[in-house]
Structure 1
Amino acid sequence: MSHMATKYTVTDSVAVITIDNPPVNGLGYAVRVGLINDLDRALADEAVLAVVVTGAGKVFCGGADMREFNSPKTGQEPGVNAVIAVLENSSKPVVAAVHGVAMGGGLELAMGCHYRVALKQARVALSEVTMGLLPGAGGTQRLPRLVGLELATDMITTGSSRSAASLADSGLFDKVVDADLLTEAIQFALDKASQPAPYPRVRDRKVEHANAQAYLALVAAGLQARKKHLPAPQRCVEALLAATQLPFDEGLALERRFFLELMATSVSKSLRHAFFSERAATKVPGISDTAQARPVNRVGVVGAGLMGAGIAANFLSAGIPVLLNDRDQESIDRGAATILRNYETSARKGKLTTAQIDQNMALLTPAPDLAALADCDLVIEAAYEDMAVKKDLFHRLDEILKPGAILTSNTSTLDMNEIARTTQRPQDVLGLHFFSPANVMRLLEIVRTDAVSDDVLVTAIEVAKRIGKVPVVSGVCDGFIGNRMLAEYSWQAASLLHQGATPEQIDRALEKFGMAMGPYRMSDLAGGDIGWAIRKRRYAEKPDARRFTVSDRLCEAGRFGQKTGGGWYDYAPGDRTPKPSAVTRQILETYWKEQGITPRQFSDEDIVARLMYALAHEGARILDEGIALRASDIDAVYLHGYGFPAWRGGPMFYSDTVGLFNVRRSMRGWAKEDSWWTPTTLLESRIEAGQRFND
């Protein structure tokens, strides 16, 4: 009788044990028990000469079962090490038949078998380092014994995946085949069964390297320079060194100790939260079970500027034809040239071939007339951020597009409900807010309008996945999730400037914290005129709105950042290195003098706390209003759209890490100066219940 998470069959005197634990055949408790039970059954059957282990469906094994992470079943015996010990000590040859992917524990399981046969297109990796961990079931000890120290070090410290074809001569696989994997693996197993036991165990090999200690010391130094905030890569190196110096069982014990230590760190907890938040964001409660994604086989993009060109490139790269529209052929040609230039940059980095560029560009069709978009399944408007412009475009597109076509806007702040009401198909309208540069940034905010149908929302999520984006659903408000929070983050930075801090100090503090860029370097990169246009709209709509006086004066002086050679910083021609600006300093000093302000001194810690807690505070308001579905969605927005360090987990998770009680205590102090800091009902209720934002 087969175990519920594995299947047992016998073909030509070979027992085939198939891991069957959808969706990725994770090594959950039931799988681990099933593997041992099925192997015992094969060993007890005299008619069985050998064993093949494989995976059901499209993958061999995706590693640990993430559904059991942080649950009692994670450490419940038999663990993966126990399963591997049973496999490698089998008196009958055990062959891993690898297809699809073998990731993390899946690859460790395969290395625990006596032999490995793989389809050439299968991909393998020990990717634990990306979640702040190291391989915990012998990966650091077995991989260098199979493929050599240097290749193993690169794979383990980067977590990168490789194809079986590229590793055909590495020693990892005994055979790489084009097709008929199971047939090939069964025959291979029978051939080995004709040979006398014992069968080869990876643990019995030696790691060969001329000077392992010196090599790994050099690797460690490079990792310290590039990844100083991350402890896992260094632990990987230490475990690899143990593989070259210690007996196998001692190295295995050290690896396990490192794994458990890393799992308890805030960095690993943050990276694992980032991993799970990305996956949780695609799950939208309340959508009808019968809602099915509409087919999207042709996309129209209206607006061929930098953003429109970047959006179009996402679909072209996914093999989806794009019709590119703008006000004239010259604008369309510039957009096409931008797409080609970006592809050529990727090719120089080895990420694309010339043939792939040609294939992608062949899917692009100029469409000077909006009427050419009539047969598109999805249209994305990427025109100037002006309500009147967008409403006019939507009205015209509504009359042109076929029934069932989905009409979307790339607006970053405007009211999508008002835009949807311009059409006769509000159920087919939503926001698709890409982040700049759109061909690089992974975040896609899906703005859910009041009237949008479930199948359109499902389509948007599926399209986002198809083009490699991380979709996060947002309700309608000014700025949605990301830019609404950014407005408060920017205001607190401006408030610090108004009180005496400098752009350099604020940026330095935030970048030391781990942000990819501080707010002022980021403003100069994006272009100060973008934020200025949004502020002027808000000033007109709300005359009593807070004034970003220093920022406005900088823009009034024509300083929009790198594109004008100066913004908050000065930039030399052809050089993007920011230099402190005497012009900015003079604007600041004039403002301080006008307001009678004696500049205050702020510590880096105070700057970081004010700006991080501002994000969390506005995030709490967004949760309270139902704009975001969950705190982890907010974290996903900032991780993938705003350069928030993954090893901090996101602004909501970071506040959870600090402790909401401590966050509230700081906020109450600042509320004496600015009532905006008064804690929200949500924050108070979470503290009262002993909960976190992410509970």
Structure 2
Amino acid sequence: MTIEVEDLRKVQLLRLSNGPANILSVGTGLVAALGAALARAQAVPGCRGVVITGARNIFCGGADLGDLGRADDLRALFEAIEWSAIPVVMAISGPALGGGVELALAGHWRIAARTAAFALPEVGLGLLPGLGGTQRLPRLIGADRALDLMLSGRRITAEAALAAGLIDAIVDGDVVESAIRFARDGRAPLRRTCQLPPPPDAAAAIAARRQALGTSLNRAPERILDCVANLSGDFAAGMRLEAQWLDELVASEASRGLRHAFFAHRAAMHIPGLDKGRRVGPPATAHILGRCTHSQHIAATLQASGVAVSQGRPGQGAGHPELVVTLDETSGAPQFLATEAAAVTASPRRAATSYDADSVQDADGARAAAKHVQFHCAGPGALMEVIRAPGTAPAALAAMAALGKAMGKTVIVSGDRGGSIFERLAEAYAAPVRSLLAEGTPAERIDRALTRWGMARGPVAAGLVCSPAAGTSRDAALRPGPQSDAHIVELCLLHLVNEGAQLIDEDVAWRSADIDVAALEGLGFPRERGGPMFEADRIGLPRIFARLQRLYADGKLARKPAVLIEALARAGAALADHDATASGTRLRARETRSVVESYSTLK
């Protein structure tokens, strides 16, 4: 963490440098350092202006989510920038996201490179732009445009930002040099966004969007509208309301779930055991053996992501059950084979993914297990499982994961025994539904209970369960069934949690967060609830374990409660603690040893 300061003849240049994205962090001291640097710059005799920019052609990737409880420090910094006695010019290149946009709004002038991009993605985390964004942005660009950015979270280009009035100019040359010349010229007046009047289009823009708001667990859109509705001549009063509603959202279950989902997706990109310092990109070329509708779809997806693709026929014949992709990694890793795992259903309880390293051969006929990695495109969404076998080379695994990301897939890594994570979760989700149907609960009522809880689709409508009850009348769906909606939801959740923990017990999954990602992307689990394992932590593992024991005793759970659930419940720990231990990090407020020893003893 550092603020690089340069004294450039009547202009002070302050450059943010904090990790790859120049995050505004209170905890690392960057926010305090920027405030101190600004104060020193204003005290320099003859200084005509301050230019704030980011290192490595990245302006600012936002505020640190770990500092949500210390937002007042950032608000004070932005107020100091806005009320600076000399002009503060923001030189923006690369992304300005979230708190980075709010930092720019506190400046008096904003000059951007064509590479600049702007977004306020807080709504996707169940939050609002709570560092003055809801108060400054509508004043600067109007309520309609501001609400579009804050409610969608979408990213816009420098050209779009200029057209909206978010920035003052785009330069094709060095944006920092241009900002320095502009500040040194001494003709830049002080333009404080907080002193602009409330926008005249606020009432109409708010009314239209309130009407369009649907039912959601995420209350952030509603609170963003409330903040803009309370714009007035009293800027400080608006800031107080914004801060109050941000604190409310931070504490909400929906935001906690959305933030967990965000971090779980990021964690999934970090593959256990691989060198964190080595960045592997997707392969440059791929050769697909086999021609079918699915292989053509994969070929088109690869081509769209910039991978050169050629196609042939499988050497084993047209009936070979595996789709083989030969990937030529030009960045240093050896050529390897990626095969789509064939699902087998020998057991009616689960669908397993086959893996046989001896069956994979290179062009010379020699075994090539180290150069072979299997993958499985799971579910109807964007989930891809990359299967890690004991002999799989790290380079092959990393390149396949990079390829999946280039294809727009969310990639998780699973073990080579015990089946696909998604398919086992899907079966665990379907099993209690079949029992409920057998007890006489209408299919439509099951689907309704789960979609009202937040699932994207009910299990019957999604085709996970085939039932003769599907398609019955609407009256049947509304009739009271043998079970309440809460019981239906709890039964499905408990089965998912137990199966997820079993997957960790069997070393098929490495982290509970990976289970959550699979459920979010494959089953349409509500993001506001974070995933089944996060929801289990929220409820409390002692309660989850007690309910699982009761279900098992009543014959309504096929397998005993997972060892992991029992161990953590007895230790007073959470699944998040297990993930922290598995990641090699220190458990928060708990002793790592007690949890690990308890788990090892039971396992």
AA partner of residue 535 (structure 2): Y
Equivalent residue, structure 1, for 2:398: 458
Q: Counterpart of 1:136 in 2: which secondary structure? A: coil
AA partner of residue 216 (structure 1): I
**Structure 1 pair 253/684, CA: closer, same or farther in 2 (3 Å)?**
same
Structure number with higher helix proportion: 1
Distance in 2, matches of 1:290 and 1:692, equals 30
Aligned equivalent of 2:10, options 8, 13, 27: 13
**Structure 1 pair 11/463, CA: closer, same or farther in 2 (3 Å)?**
farther
Distance in 2, matches of 1:290 and 1:156, equals 35
Comparing 607-616 with 5-14, greater Cα deviation is found at 5-14
Deviation of 1:421 (Å) = 4.2
The aligned runs of 1:638-649 (5 Å cut-off) are 638-649=519-530
Q: Counterpart of 1:54 in 2: which secondary structure? A: strand
Deviation of 1:665 (Å) = 2.7
**Structure 1 pair 108/77, CA: closer, same or farther in 2 (3 Å)?**
closer
Structure 2: which 5+ residue stretches go unaligned? 328-332, 344-351, 362-366, 578-603
Deviation of 1:160 (Å) = 1.3
**Structure 1 pair 57/63, CA: closer, same or farther in 2 (3 Å)?**
same
Aligned equivalent of 2:384, options 438, 444, 450: 444
Deviation of 1:163 (Å) = 0.9
Equivalent residue, structure 1, for 2:334: 404
Alpha-carbon contact 1:32-1:78 (below 8 Å) kept: no
Q: Counterpart of 2:416 in 1: which secondary structure? A: coil
Aligned equivalent of 1:184, options 178, 185, 196: 178
1:618 matched to 2:499? The reply is yes
**Structure 1 pair 523/119, CA: closer, same or farther in 2 (3 Å)?**
same
AA partner of residue 340 (structure 2): N
AA partner of residue 482 (structure 2): Q
Deviation of 1:240 (Å) = 0.7
Alpha-carbon contact 2:442-2:469 (below 8 Å) kept: no
Equivalent residue, structure 1, for 2:441: 501
Equivalent residue, structure 1, for 2:194: 203
Equivalent residue, structure 2, for 1:389: 321
Equivalent residue, structure 2, for 1:580: 472
Equivalent residue, structure 2, for 1:263: 250
1:490 matched to 2:430? The reply is yes
**Structure 1 pair 25/160, CA: closer, same or farther in 2 (3 Å)?**
same
Equivalent residue, structure 1, for 2:33: 34
Deviation of 1:277 (Å) = 0.3
String of CA shifts for 1:85-138, please: whole Å, max 9, x gaps.
111111111000111111111000000011100113311111111100001100
String of CA shifts for 1:630-663, please: whole Å, max 9, x gaps.
1111101111222111111011111112222222
**Structure 1 pair 304/190, CA: closer, same or farther in 2 (3 Å)?**
farther
String of CA shifts for 1:402-438, please: whole Å, max 9, x gaps.
x93221222263544315544310011122212355x
AA partner of residue 205 (structure 1): L
String of CA shifts for 1:495-534, please: whole Å, max 9, x gaps.
222222232222111111111111111117xxx8xxxxxx
**Structure 1 pair 304/248, CA: closer, same or farther in 2 (3 Å)?**
farther
Distance in 2, matches of 1:679 and 1:425, equals 39
Alpha-carbon contact 1:308-1:382 (below 8 Å) kept: no
1:237 matched to 2:225? The reply is yes
Aligned equivalent of 1:673, options 546, 551, 554: 554
The aligned runs of 1:285-434 (5 Å cut-off) are 285-288=272-275, 293=280, 296-324=283-311, 367=312, 369-370=313-314, 389-390=321-322, 404-411=334-341, 413=343, 414-419=352-357, 421-423=359-361, 424-434=367-377
**Structure 1 pair 291/84, CA: closer, same or farther in 2 (3 Å)?**
closer
Deviation of 1:316 (Å) = 1.7
**Structure 1 pair 219/581, CA: closer, same or farther in 2 (3 Å)?**
closer
Deviation of 1:681 (Å) = 1.9
Q: Counterpart of 1:522 in 2: which secondary structure? A: coil
String of CA shifts for 1:520-571, please: whole Å, max 9, x gaps.
11117xxx8xxxxxxxxxxxxxxxxxxxxxx5xx7xxxxxxxxxxxx874xx
Structure 1: which 5+ residue stretches go unaligned? 325-366, 372-380, 529-550, 555-566, 570-578, 586-598
String of CA shifts for 1:161-185, please: whole Å, max 9, x gaps.
1111112132211112223211111
Equivalent residue, structure 1, for 2:416: 476
Deviation of 1:673 (Å) = 2.6
**Structure 1 pair 664/96, CA: closer, same or farther in 2 (3 Å)?**
same
Equivalent residue, structure 1, for 2:585: none
1:57 matched to 2:56? The reply is yes
String of CA shifts for 1:230-280, please: whole Å, max 9, x gaps.
21100000001112x351000011000100110000000000000000111
Deviation of 1:309 (Å) = 3.2
Residue correspondences, number: 552
Alpha-carbon contact 1:447-1:476 (below 8 Å) kept: yes
Distance in 1, matches of 2:144 and 2:491, equals 44
Distance in 2, matches of 1:145 and 1:42, equals 28
Query: What RMSD, in angstroms, separates the aligned Cα atoms of the two structures?
Result: 2.8
Equivalent residue, structure 2, for 1:161: 155
Equivalent residue, structure 1, for 2:47: 48
AA partner of residue 489 (structure 1): Y
Alpha-carbon contact 1:407-1:429 (below 8 Å) kept: yes
Distance in 2, matches of 1:445 and 1:254, equals 44
Q: Counterpart of 1:53 in 2: which secondary structure? A: strand
Alpha-carbon contact 1:294-1:455 (below 8 Å) kept: no
Equivalent residue, structure 2, for 1:215: 205
Q: Counterpart of 2:386 in 1: which secondary structure? A: strand
Alpha-carbon contact 2:112-2:169 (below 8 Å) kept: yes
AA partner of residue 277 (structure 1): A
Deviation of 1:154 (Å) = 1.1
Distance in 2, matches of 1:452 and 1:6, equals 43
Distance in 1, matches of 2:46 and 2:233, equals 40
TM-score, structure 1 normalization: 0.75
AA partner of residue 222 (structure 1): A
Deviation of 1:305 (Å) = 3.9
AA partner of residue 580 (structure 1): T
Distance in 2, matches of 1:54 and 1:639, equals 37
Alpha-carbon contact 1:521-1:568 (below 8 Å) kept: no
Equivalent residue, structure 2, for 1:572: none
Alpha-carbon contact 2:15-2:54 (below 8 Å) kept: yes
Deviation of 1:291 (Å) = 6.0
Equivalent residue, structure 2, for 1:143: 137
AA partner of residue 336 (structure 2): I
Alpha-carbon contact 2:23-2:61 (below 8 Å) kept: yes
String of CA shifts for 1:432-486, please: whole Å, max 9, x gaps.
212355xxx3322111112101111121222233333221111123432111121
AA partner of residue 246 (structure 2): F
